[in-house]
Structure formats: structure tokens, C-alpha cells
Chain A
Amino acid sequence: MSRDTDRIVIEDLSHSYGARRAVSKVSFIIERGDILAVLGPNGAGKTTLLKLLATLLRPKSGFISYFGLLPVDDPAPVKRMLGYLAHETLLYKDLTVRDNLIFYGGLYGLSDPKGRAEEVLEMIDLSTRAGDPARSLSKGMRQRLSIGRAILHDPELLLLDEPFAALDVKAAASLKRIIEGLRARGKTVVFTTHDFEGAARLANSFLLMSEGKVAGAQKGPLKDAADLKSAFMTAAPDGEWP
């Protein structure tokens, strides 16, 4: 079993929901500091892959080594290094914006959850709404708060599931700033998307999923998103591309 402290190693990873195989024998490597875009048509297995990476699902076979750590040995250190942005906000709508962050900060054992919550509120530009219930925020603001929740404990690996899908212009710009800031600090980001243009601008590594399998991969920044798209669409011609 290979272990490496500077890489995330995914080997022979499979997961099924009943008889339906969502991810099948997926293997790839993510280098520390990579911004990996996982592309693929609907139902390709992108969200399942991200949930497996987030330790929310137990693989039926295969394994993931996070910078040399295996969650089966001890899940807590692995979970501490993960930040996850899901389709849902994972926020308590009846708690205030600030209380949501303080609560999650407490779960991650931060030494000063209140102070960190204020820092993150500044970062996501929600300081003025800190005392309002999360329920009262607009969809875009809620997504920003979700991003704040995901980066609250300064994770080594940030997993973002369709992060730009529900964002307004301000939130999208804020998220891009955050991702670029994380990249500058050597953090690793994995995000799923349908948007080739956006992926090409932000990522330096690309993975195409189709029918639960890896259909293609590219390393290094891209010059032309159209090339990537046509290469990937050739690899998965039957996919339901948006």
C-alpha cells in the first residue's frame, strides 16, 4: 500500500448504492498544492467521488491516503485536514450567521472559535449580517457562509462540490479569491464542475469522470478550455453534457 506525505493517493476506489455502481475502480494522485477540477456529465460519479474524499462515504473497495494518513487508522486527523462544500449548505438556518461559525469552530476544536468566526466573516464579506439568522440570508450569501464554514479550520484539502453553481457574481469572485489564496499558501483544492472555461481558468489539473470511471486526465495549466472540452467530450461521447 503506497503512502506519501506530499500526495493524496486514490487507489482502486469503488462505491455502489445498492446494485448501482457510482464509482468504479478509480485511481489517481493529487499533489499537494494542486487545484484539481473534476469534470463530467451528470451522473458521472463526481459527487460520490467527493463524498468518498470527504470521508462521508465508506469505500466498498480501494483506499485513499491523505498525505500519508489513512482514515481507517485514525479518522480524526484526516477529518481535521478536510474542508467540504456540499450541494446543501450544512448550516443551521435558525442559528445566526456568527453562531453557525462558532458552533462549527467548536466542533473542530479551534482555540478561539469566536475570533476565528469574525476573521472568516470578514473574509466572506458577511460581518454586517453576523447577528442575523442564516435563514434570512439570500441564496448567494448562504453559499458564502457555507464557504466560510468549509474554510473555518484552515483545511489542507478543500473539497468543493459544484461551488459556482448557485453563486452570484460577488460570491463567485469571493470564492475565486479564496481558492487563489489557498493555492498561494500551498493548500490543495478539488472541485467538481460542468464549466470548462471556469475550470481551465482556476485549475492546474483536470480529471474527467464518466459512468463512475476516470475517462481522462490532464496535468498542468491549460491555454484553451475548448481543447479540453473537445478532448473530454470525445472521451465520454455518450455523457449528458450540459
Chain B
Amino acid sequence: MKLLALLIKKDLKLELQTKESLSAMLIFSLLTMVSLGLALGGEPANGAVLSGLLWITFLFTSLLGLNRTFFYEKEEGCLEGLLLAPIDITHLYLSKVVSNFIFLSLMEAVVIPVFLLFFSGGSVNLFTGGFFLTLILANLGLSIIGVLLAAISMNTRAKDLMLPLLFIPVIVPVLLAAIKATNIVVLGGETAELFASLRLLLFYDIIFALVAFLTFEYVLEE
């Protein structure tokens, strides 16, 4: 735990110092919202469309953060510094998942109220337990899968192109489950249906976390 805290603290300190990921994510998500708003001609979005727009915004915004996940580790060969240390390298993976989860959640905390105001005129209330659970599980999914794929793509020549190409197809089940769960919250569906979507999110998170734990060390090998 001490090691994990040390690695997360380092990521947060670097972000606090530069504010590069978080500010880029915020600006990008706000610009996406404006573009979507213009595409809808200023009309409020209905429940199903609203959920889709919200998660598409989060998906593309998360890609920005994920692309910078290992930026500092690659900048001056710091990844070698971490690989040299007598640590279990899966801590690095976990720390990156937590850092991404934090950045994503902070961005969402700002974007969701603006989004609701923009697309529903404040008539939709997303601040429910069901939606918070959806956010947590979907953010975990985006981070768990995204960090593993960011590690795979960081050593490829076209890493900025490679990550979206790998990430978007793999993340589709998370995206669909998150949209469905949000729809249920917005439109007031059955609780059992909501739990089915949440279970799917949890299942996907666990499967990919296991895959990442088993493969991460080998992914980092030169």
C-alpha cells in the first residue's frame, strides 16, 4: 500500500505541477459538448440520446488522459528507473489506473452539471445512487482497460494513433452497459435492469484487471 501511495502521489504531484492532462480533458469535453449542442441545433436531448452523448464525451475525453498515462515515464527513461527498482511492477499498473480514475472523475464532476444544463435545461437529475455506481464502474473500466492498452501502445511507433484503434473496439461493452444504465436512471426503468448493466460492468472490469495483472510485466519488456 505504501508503494502504491508513493506512485499515485508522484502522478498527482506531476499533474498538479503541470495541469496538462486535466486541463486538456476539461477543455476537450467542453468543446465536445458545444459541438454536440450545435449539431442538435440547440434542442434539448431526450433521455436515450442524452446518455449516449454523455458517454461518448467521456470516452473521447478519457482517451486524451490515457494517451498521456506514461508520458512522464517515457520522457527521460523514467520507466527504466521504475523497472530497476525492487518493486512488484503491477503496482505501477495499479497506480496508473487509480490516477486515471481520479482525473476522469474530477473532469466528470465539472462536466456533468454543465452537460445537464446544456442538454436538458436542468430537467434531468442524474445525481442518484444508481448513476454514481455506473460512473464508478465505467470509470474503472475505462481506466483498467485504457492503462493496459496505453502500456501496449506506448512502445509502438504511432502510439497516439494506436491507442484509440485498440481502445475503442475493446471498450464497446463498457460503453454500451454504461449508456444502458444511465438510460435506466434518466428514464426511470426497472432496478433489476440497472443491476444487470452494473453486473456486466463489474464483470468486464474484473476480467480485464485479471488480464492486466497477468500480462503487464511482459507488456513493459523491451
Interface residues of A (CB under 8 A from B): 51, 54-58, 75-77, 79-80, 82, 84, 86-95, 99, 103-104, 106-109, 133, 149
Residues of chain B within 8 A of A79, CB atoms compared: 84-86
- With A95-B13, A103-B6 given, can you name 4 additional A-B contacts, CB distance below 8 Å? A56-B222, A75-B86, A104-B81, A104-B85
Give the CA-CA distance A93 to B71 in the complex, in Å: 11
Q: How many A-B residue pairs have CB under 8 A?
A: 74
Give the CA-CA distance A106 to B2 in the complex, in Å: 9
B199: interface (CB < 8 Å): no
Shortest B217–chain A CB gap in Å is 10
Main secondary structure of the interface of B (DSSP, over half): helix
- Which A-chain residue is minimally distant from B10 (CB atoms)? A103
Give the CA-CA distance A75 to B86 in the complex, in Å: 7
- Which B-chain residue is minimally distant from A134 (CB atoms)? B76
Pair B80/A93 contact, Cβ less than 8 Å: no
| Tier of interface size on chain B | 20 to 34
B72: interface (CB < 8 Å): yes
Q: Which of A51, A57, A99, A107 contacts B13 (CB 8 A)?
A: A99
Pair A92/B14 contact, Cβ less than 8 Å: yes
- Which B-chain residue is minimally distant from A103 (CB atoms)? B10
Interface centre among B2, B82, B85 (most CB of A within 10 A): B85
Give the CA-CA distance A12 to B82 in the complex, in Å: 27
* A/B interface sample: 26 pairs, CB < 8 A: A51-B222, A55-B83, A55-B84, A56-B84, A57-B222, A58-B221, A76-B86, A79-B85, A80-B86, A84-B84, A86-B77, A87-B77, A90-B77, A90-B84, A91-B81, A92-B75, A93-B76, A94-B14, A94-B72, A99-B13, A103-B10, A104-B81, A106-B2, A107-B3, A108-B86, A149-B81
B165: interface (CB < 8 Å): no
Q: Given A56-B222, A77-B86 in contact, is the A90-B80 Cβ separation under 8 Å?
A: yes
Shortest A104–chain B CB gap in Å is 7
Residues of chain A within 8 A of B222, CB atoms compared: 51, 56-57
Pair B85/A107 contact, Cβ less than 8 Å: yes
Pair B84/A95 contact, Cβ less than 8 Å: no
Q: Which of B6, B14, B18, B77 contacts A88 (CB 8 A)?
A: B77
Residues of chain B within 8 A of A90, CB atoms compared: 76-78, 80-81, 84
Residues of chain A within 8 A of B81, CB atoms compared: 90-91, 104, 107, 149
Pair A82/B14 contact, Cβ less than 8 Å: no
Residues of chain A within 8 A of B39, CB atoms compared: none
Pair A89/B86 contact, Cβ less than 8 Å: no
- Which A-chain residue is minimally distant from B16 (CB atoms)? A94
Residues of chain B within 8 A of A84, CB atoms compared: 80, 84
Give the CA-CA distance A182 to B85 in the complex, in Å: 20
Q: Mark B1-39, 1 if CB is under 8 A from A, else 0.
A: 011001000100110011000000000000000000000
Q: Given A93-B75, A94-B14 in contact, is the A88-B84 Cβ separation under 8 Å?
A: no
Q: Mark B141-165, 1 if CB is under 8 A from A, else 0.
A: 0000000000000000000000000
